[in-house]
Amino acid sequence: MRSIMVLNAKGGSGKSTIATNLASYYADEGYRVMLVDFDPQHSSLDWLAVRPAGMPGIIGHDASEGGFRSPRNADYIIYDTPAGLRGKELSSMLRRAQSVIVPILPSPIDMRAATPFIRQILDNGRVSRKETRVALVANRCRENTNVYHQLEDYLRKVRKAPFISVLRETQNYNHAAEQGLGIFELPPYRVQRDLELWQPVLDWLGSRRSQPVKRR
Ligand SMILES: Nc1ncnc2c1ncn2[C@@H]1O[C@H](COP(=O)(O)OP(=O)(O)O)[C@@H](O)[C@H]1O
Ligand SMILES: [Mg+2]
């Protein structure tokens, strides 16, 4: 079983977007997928509620009231999380996942907030022992903007966590989300560029690099 979490201290960085897209991607691949929403705003569960009955199914779980225990019968568990996690809450969240994706927006405010957050994550015991693996993704990027280049420079310099992809700003995510779909389920000609940008994320998640290092 693979457990994947999307995490950032900031709201609006694309956590729910990435969580729901990952869930639909793995469901389309034929896996049994559970989408666990720790955010009281329930964006992922709202998305799931409008997912068409004919699409590959995803099991939703509301974990915002606490008391969630990992099931054993899913191939993929995708965790969506609330903004503002820190301290003990953050460490107990990190314990649940093998792989953590941190989406970061190209905005001065988001980048400033990301610095202490990434440090907290990388200082976490599980993360430094590589029992939970972390990767960084730039989201909602527009090429040829200064702030995007600043974000890229910044993420490249983070040691101990790979910077794996740059997802672009596009209405495709909104079009998909309003129908309960992932971008992988939109007409391929519309999302070709986005699928290319997602590939490194899927490659990382499919590789040993995103999985716990087994200790002897
Ligand atoms: N790459 C993107 N391009 C365009 N819009 C995006 C992109 N990523 C996220 N959004 C939009 O930004 C808003 C916030 O994203 P969301 O995934 O809800 O963030 P979070 O869960 O971190 O609060 C949503 O309206 C979402 O559709
Ligand atoms: Mg959200």
Beta carbon of 140 within 6 Å of any ligand 1 atom: yes
Question: Nearest CA to 4 among 175, 164, 158?
Answer: 164
At 70 the pLDDT is 78
What is the reported pLDDT for 66? 80
SS3 content of the chain, % helix, strand, coil (to 5): 45, 20, 40
Question: Is the distance from the beta carbon of residue 165 to the nearest atom of ligand 1 less than 6 Å?
Answer: no
Cβ atoms of residues 95 and 126 within 8 Å: yes
Q: Give the DSSP H or E segment for 190.
A: helix 188-206
- Summarize pLDDT for 4-57 with one digit per residue, the tens: 999 999 999 999 999 999 999 999 999 999 999 999 999 999 999 999 999 999
Asked whether residue 216 is assigned to any structural domain, the reply reads: no
pLDDT, one tens digit per residue, over 62-107 is 999 987 787 778 999 999 999 999 999 999 999 999 999 999 999 9
Tell me how many helices (H) and strands (E) the chain has. 8, 7
Would you say residue 198 lies in a domain? yes
Q: How many angstroms does the Cα of residue 215 sit away from the middle of ligand 1?
A: 37
Find, among 122, 126, 138, the residue nearest to 97 by Cα.
126
15 lines ligand 1 (CB under 6 A): yes
Q: Is the pLDDT of residue 216 over 70?
A: no
Q: Mind listing the pLDDT tens digit for each residue in 156-202?
A: 999 999 999 999 999 999 999 999 999 999 999 999 999 999 999 99
Candidate of 17, 46, 80, 179 to mutate for ligand 1, largest count of ligand atoms within 8 Å of Cβ: 17
Q: Whose CA is nearest to atom 17 of ligand 1?
A: 14
Cβ-contact 8, 114 below 8 angstroms: yes
Task: Evaluate whether residue 211 is within a structural domain.
Answer: no
Domain membership flag for residue 212: no
Residues 201, 203: Cα–Cα separation, whole Å: 5
Query: What does 26-89 look like in DSSP terms, one character per residue?
Result: HHHTT--EEEEE--TT-HHHHHHHTS-TTSPP-EEEE-TTS-----SS-SEEEEE--TT--HHH
- Count of the separate structural domains present in the chain: 1
Distance 188 CA to ligand 1 centre (A): 21
The rounded distance, in Å, linking the Cα atoms of 22 and 43 is: 14
- Which domain CATH number covers 157? 3.40.50.300
10 Å Cβ neighbour count for 172? 15
Structural domain boundaries, residue 125 = 2-205
Q: Does 146 reside within a domain? A: yes
Q: Report residue 102 as tokens.
A: 């941190």
